């Protein structure tokens, strides 16, 4: 008997799972097949899975599972335990829209202020392009397609609540202004880094999960380093552990960590 489907009213579940290989069981026949079957079954149920070999000794292998049914994600994490995998770390979050996302009025103001576009017809033409772009962006935030990149980095984070450096005591306009500057830094990495920011306030130990994807691992290092100088990070951010992995076809990743 399985749990009935549990689907959030908005967003998808995002489950990061990290395991070490039980070397005493690694030679059991068919151990990799059990994991591969679990992945195939989840994907057949309209969920996504990325498999990656973890760099460093925090874990051997990781899985990032994304989809609408939390009960199905929970079953997947249990199915992985049928193989010789010992759980080391996990993180749960939901895809979400940013409350600081740019609005149409923001874009209209920017066009007049930064580009001197004020003619109503010209403004409407530019806004039509903006609407198409922002719709795609919002859809990708809520219903992401996990990218085919070579490397990934995951870390949880929260906003600081310490004396004068209390993010949640700032008014909305101040927070939105700061986040706009933070986002401008991120946009300079378009084409090099794909970012997925998910919400976990009240769901896990931190407030957000950040997953970065890139073909060049140096880009992961550079974007995090550059963002550290932005006030949002320098003054208001607290970070959890960073876990970096090499993404690959599931069978190849499992073989690389000793499962065949």
- Domains located in the chain, CATH noted: 13-96+248-256 (3.30.70.1030)
Cα–Cα distance, 161 to 238 (Å, whole number): 10
Report pLDDT for 103. 86
Can you say how many angstroms the Cα of residue 96 is from the centroid of all Cα atoms in its chain?
10
Contact predicate 259/32, CB 8 Å? yes
Percentages (nearest 5) of helix, strand, coil residues in the chain: 40, 25, 35
Catalytic residues: 155
List Cβ neighbours of 75 (8 Å cut-off, separation of 6 or more): 2, 3
Taking each helix axis from N to C end, the angle separating 104-115 and 120-142, rounded to the nearest 10 degrees, works out to: 130
Report pLDDT for 134. 85
Report pLDDT for 28. 77
**Residue whose tokens read 């109503």:** 120
Report pLDDT for 197. 96
Report pLDDT for 26. 65
Cα–Cα distance, 255 to 231 (Å, whole number): 43
Report pLDDT for 105. 86
List Cβ neighbours of 235 (8 Å cut-off, separation of 6 or more): 160, 165
DSSP 3-state of 191: coil
CA distances from 255 to 27, 97, 161, 166, 250 (A): 12, 37, 44, 46, 9
Kindly list the averaged pLDDT for each block of 10 residues, start to end, along the chain of length 260. 90 98 81 94 98 98 98 97 92 95 86 88 86 88 95 98 95 94 90 96 98 98 95 96 98 94
Cα–Cα distance, 197 to 209 (Å, whole number): 6
DSSP-assigned beta bridge partners for residue 155: 210
Report pLDDT for 122. 85
């Amino acid at each position: 008997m399985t749990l009935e489907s549990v689907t959030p009213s908005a967003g998808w579940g995002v489950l990061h799972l990290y395991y070490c290989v039980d070397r005493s069981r690694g030679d059991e026949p068919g151990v990799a097949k059990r994991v591969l079957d679990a992945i195939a079954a989840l994907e057949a149920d309209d969920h996504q899975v990325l498999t990656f070999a973890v760099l460093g000794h925090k874990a051997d292998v990781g899985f990032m599972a994304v989809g609408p049914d939390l009960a199905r994600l929970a079953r997947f994490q249990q199915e992985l335990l049928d193989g010789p995998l010992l759980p080391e770390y996990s993180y749960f979050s939901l895809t979400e829209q940013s409350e600081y996302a740019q609005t149409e009025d923001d874009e209209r103001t920017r066009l007049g202020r930064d580009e001197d576009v004020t003619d109503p017809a010209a403004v409407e033409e530019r806004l039509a392009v903006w609407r198409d772009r922002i719709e795609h962006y919002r859809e990708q935030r809520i219903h992401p397609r996990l990218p085919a990149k070579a490397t990934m980095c995951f870390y949880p984070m929260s906003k600081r609540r310490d004396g004068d450096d209390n993010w949640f005591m700032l008014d909305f306009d101040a927070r939105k202004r700061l986040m706009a500057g933070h986002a401008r830094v991120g946009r300079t990495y378009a084409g090099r880094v794909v970012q997925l920011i998910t919400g976990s306030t009240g769901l896990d130990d931190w407030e957000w999960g950040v997953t970065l994807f890139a073909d060049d691992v140096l880009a992961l290092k550079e974007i995090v380093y550059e963002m550290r100088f932005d006030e949002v990070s320098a003054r208001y951010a607290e970070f959890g552990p960073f876990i970096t992995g090499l993404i690959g076809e599931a069978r190849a990743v499992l073989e690389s960590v000793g499962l065949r």
